[in-house]
């Protein structure tokens, strides 16, 4: 499945699709409303395979994903195999933060994150003083079993002269050597996975379809809350470790920006997908939001914009009460994807500032009829697109796994019917 | 509750205002040094939690305050409960029994835990049967425990079908009319409520409490 030579017609189609997305970002009305395809386990329903097969069988997943793109002809899609064919890398790394089909959940259940305290609040000073050392000695062994054995990986700062020599001794440890071999094997699997995903991406591009984003990232507060402290740990830190928390969040931001710029540039696609978890109205007070959450994320977006990238946060759940605050970004530089916030309301507040993406509801997509999908698309076209809005039509957070295929057809067909 | 003295008022205020260090130090002193009745301290805690619940309902408090309040309550409870020697006075009458769990296939529990906590501090007897709960476990628990309300929680879209199946099983067992069913979780809306044939859905813990209060004939 190598990338075919791009025909002139495919190149023209690719350029037109990409231009549509860029017009939306620049807040210019495109020639038609772009429709985006984001799917994970829905491909199992579409391709008639199990969730587990999608996760482990690179070739089959690539084939099904390509078939879906060619059938629905989205204006852009995600790297579909990249988002789902992760079983082998999870196995190879011994990834502990998820349970996935065949590994903790059934063969036809989606992977699920295990919300735990992966770092204690007492460890903030250690993380701040030496993030690299903290990752090597503590964090990586906690989240990957392959790294168990790295707990005594030498800490080099402070060593010098003969101490720099004797400091190497932990590397002779048998347990460390075993762990190192597992990590090297895992890296080989990661290389295979990324090669498969990369080949698919190139092939899809050659066939005329851009990827909506080339990289992904997280908001500083969210990364710390979800992947380090755990939900309840982080909420308590808002009271118990206020000052330190701001310092750690700022450090997170600097490292996230560095990582994100490198990955985005490597991908050759300027759009950065950033799922947002802790911004919803119900999760913290406006004051907490404006103190702990928003400043670091706003700065992160500005840093990415300065690097000629296009932040595309997905504001999960309902963020209606945050709209006035998150409007404070340069005009025409971002795509805001909303999950449960009413896009029509979002358009009223943010329409002159950012492009919008979304947001056919999961309950309608899974339990509704094609006629209901058609009516929902029409509403967004009437209330946003036809009023000059820059809207990328999509579901609320990807096509829900259980969505009947005819409802997905209705989403694409209705978009073409009402908005070009 | 009976009239509070200055010290007691101070404890309630510190708890309600999230001044954790001061509240815990005072509670410990009252319990371990001054011999204040552990039942009285727990009563003061309930009083403070009423205030926390009200502030949450009024939009002054959010999830972090509920989590911290829950933890303060747990810490004080762990000290107070072993000290209870006297025959407990009359326990405040519970408003009703709520059985709650995350439906099968779904492992999420943060929202469910917060709903359980809010129901508990609002006077309900709550039995939380965990995550990924099979249909038959719900049915067994209902038969044994006879709840007034059953709460089904779920975050993923797969929960729509799990909830529907669970409620259909209640119907088949002929037990559906004996209790009310409420559903909640990230993606739940009126469409899902109609699909699953639940009695009601809620988008947050306050709505869950209000639903239960209404069903038990209390002013919500």
Domains of chain B: 6-83 (1.10.1240.10), 97-215 (3.40.50.280)
Position A311 scores a pLDDT of 98
For residue A366, the chain B residues in CB contact (below 8 A) are 157, 160
Residue pair A206/A6 in contact by the 8 Å Cβ criterion: yes
Residue pair B63/B114 in contact by the 8 Å Cβ criterion: yes
User: DSSP character for B172?
Assistant: H
Residue A1 in this model has a pLDDT that exceeds 60? no
Q: Please report which helix (H) or strand (E) contains residue A335, including its range.
A: strand A335-338
Tens of pLDDT along B173-214? 999 999 999 999 988 999 999 999 999 999 988 899 999 999
Helices and strands, counts by H and E, chain A: 21, 11
B58 close contact with A: CB closer than 8 A: no
B63 close contact with A: CB closer than 8 A: yes
Locate tokens 């990415």: which residue?
A304
Q: At what angle do helices A405-419 and A58-72 cross, to 10 degrees?
A: 40
- How many other β-carbons are positioned within 10 Å of the β-carbon of residue A260? 22
User: DSSP character for A374?
Assistant: H
User: DSSP character for A3?
Assistant: P
Tens of pLDDT along B131-168? 999 999 999 999 999 999 999 999 999 999 999 999 99
* CA B88 to chain CA mean position, Å: 22
B112 — phi, psi (to 5°)?
A: -60, -45
- Work out the minimum CA distance from B21 to partner chain A, whole angstroms: 9
Burial string for A263-301 (b: 16+ CB within 10 Å, else e) reads ebeebebbbbbbbbbbbbbbbbbeebbeebbbbbbbebb
Locate tokens 């992160």: which residue?
A300
- Pairwise CA distance, residues A302 & A265, whole Å: 16
A236 close contact with B: CB closer than 8 A: yes
Which of B161, B187, B204 lies closest to A282 in CB terms? B204
A362 close contact with B: CB closer than 8 A: yes
Two tokens at A69?
A: 């793109």
Q: In what order do the strands lie in the sheet with A98-101?
A: A104-105, A98-101, A112-113
Q: Does the complex come out with an ipTM higher than 0.85?
A: yes
- How many other β-carbons are positioned within 10 Å of the β-carbon of residue A78? 23
Measuring CA to CA, which residue among A358, A310, A351 is closest to residue A334?
Answer: A310
Q: Which residue of A has its CA nearest to B71?
A: A236
DSSP state string for A9-29 = HHHHHHHHHHHHHHHHHTTPP
* CA A417 to chain CA mean position, Å: 30
Residue pair A25/A223 in contact by the 8 Å Cβ criterion: no
Residue B90 in this model has a pLDDT that exceeds 70? no
**Interface contacts A/B by beta carbons within 8 Å:** 75
Overall average pLDDT of the B27-55 stretch: 94
């Amino acid at each position: 499945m190598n990338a075919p030579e791009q025909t002139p017609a495919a190149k023209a189609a690719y350029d037109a699709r990409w231009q549509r997305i860029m017009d939306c970002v620049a807040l210019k009305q495109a020639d038609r409303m772009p429709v985006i395809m984001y799917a994970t386990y829905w491909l199992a329903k579409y391709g008639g395979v199990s969730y587990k097969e999608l996760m482990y069988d690179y070739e089959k997943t690539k084939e099904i994903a390509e078939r879906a793109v060619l059938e629905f002809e989205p204006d852009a899609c995600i790297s579909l195999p990249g988002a789902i064919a992760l079983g082998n890398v999870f196995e190879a790394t011994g990834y502990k933060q998820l349970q996935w089909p065949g590994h903790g959940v059934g063969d036809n259940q989606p992977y699920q994150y295990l919300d735990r305290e992966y770092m204690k609040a007492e460890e903030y000073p250690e993380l701040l003083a030496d993030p690299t050392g903290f990752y090597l000695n503590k964090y990586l062994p906690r989240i990957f079993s392959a790294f168990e054995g790295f707990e005594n990986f030498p800490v080099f700062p402070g060593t010098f002269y003969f101490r720099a020599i004797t400091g190497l001794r932990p590397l002779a440890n048998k347990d460390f050597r075993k762990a190192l071999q597992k990590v090297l094997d895992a890296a080989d699997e990661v290389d295979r996975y990324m090669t498969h995903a990369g080949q698919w991406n190139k092939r899809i591009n050659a066939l005329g379809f851009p990827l909506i984003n080339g990289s992904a990232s997280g908001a500083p507060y969210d990364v710390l809350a979800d992947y380090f402290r755990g939900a309840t740990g982080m909420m308590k830190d808002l009271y118990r470790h206020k000052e330190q928390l701001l310092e750690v969040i700022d450090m997170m931001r600097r490292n996230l920006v560095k990582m994100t710029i490198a990955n985005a540039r490597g991908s050759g696609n300027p759009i950065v997908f950033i799922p947002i978890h802790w911004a919803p109205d119900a999760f913290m007070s406006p004051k907490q939001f404006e103190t702990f959450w928003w400043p670091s994320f706003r700065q992160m977006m500005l840093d990415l914009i300065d690097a000629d990238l296009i932040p595309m946060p997905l504001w999960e759940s309902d963020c209606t009460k945050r709209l006035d605050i998150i409007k404070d970004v340069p005009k025409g530089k971002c795509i805001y994807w909303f999950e449960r916030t009413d896009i029509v309301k979002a358009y009223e507040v943010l329409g002159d500032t950012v492009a919008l993406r979304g947001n056919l509801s999961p309950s309608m997509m899974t339990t509704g009829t094609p006629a209901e999908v058609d009516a929902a698309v029409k509403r967004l076209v009437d209330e946003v697109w036809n009023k000059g809005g820059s809207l990328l039509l999509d579901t609320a957070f990807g096509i829900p796994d259980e969505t009947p295929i005819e409802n997905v057809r209705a989403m694409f067909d209705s978009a073409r019917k009402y908005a070009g | 509750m009976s009239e509070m003295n200055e010290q007691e008022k101070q404890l309630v205020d510190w708890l309600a205002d999230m001044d954790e260090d001061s509240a815990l130090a005072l509670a410990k002193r009252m319990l371990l040094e001054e011999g204040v009745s552990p039942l009285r301290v727990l009563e003061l805690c309930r009083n403070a939690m009423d205030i926390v619940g009200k502030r949450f309902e009024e939009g002054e408090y959010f999830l972090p305050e509920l989590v911290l309040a829950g933890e303060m309550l747990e810490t004080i409870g762990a000290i107070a409960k072993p000290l209870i020697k006297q025959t407990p006075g009359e326990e405040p009458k519970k408003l009703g029994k709520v059985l709650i769990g995350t439906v099968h296939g779904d492992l999420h529990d943060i929202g469910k835990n917060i709903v359980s906590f809010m129901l508990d501090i609002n006077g309900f007897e709550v039995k939380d049967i965990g995550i990924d709960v099979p249909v038959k476990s719900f049915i067994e628990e209902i038969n044994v425990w006879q709840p007034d309300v059953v709460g089904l929680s779920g975050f993923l879209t797969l929960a729509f079908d799990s909830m529907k199946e669970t409620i259909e099983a209640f119907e088949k067992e002929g037990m559906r009319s004996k209790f009310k069913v409420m559903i909640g979780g990230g993606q739940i809306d009126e469409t899902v409520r109609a699909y699953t044939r639940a009695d009601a859905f809620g988008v947050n813990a306050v709505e869950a409490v209000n639903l239960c209060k209404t069903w038990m004939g209390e002013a919500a």
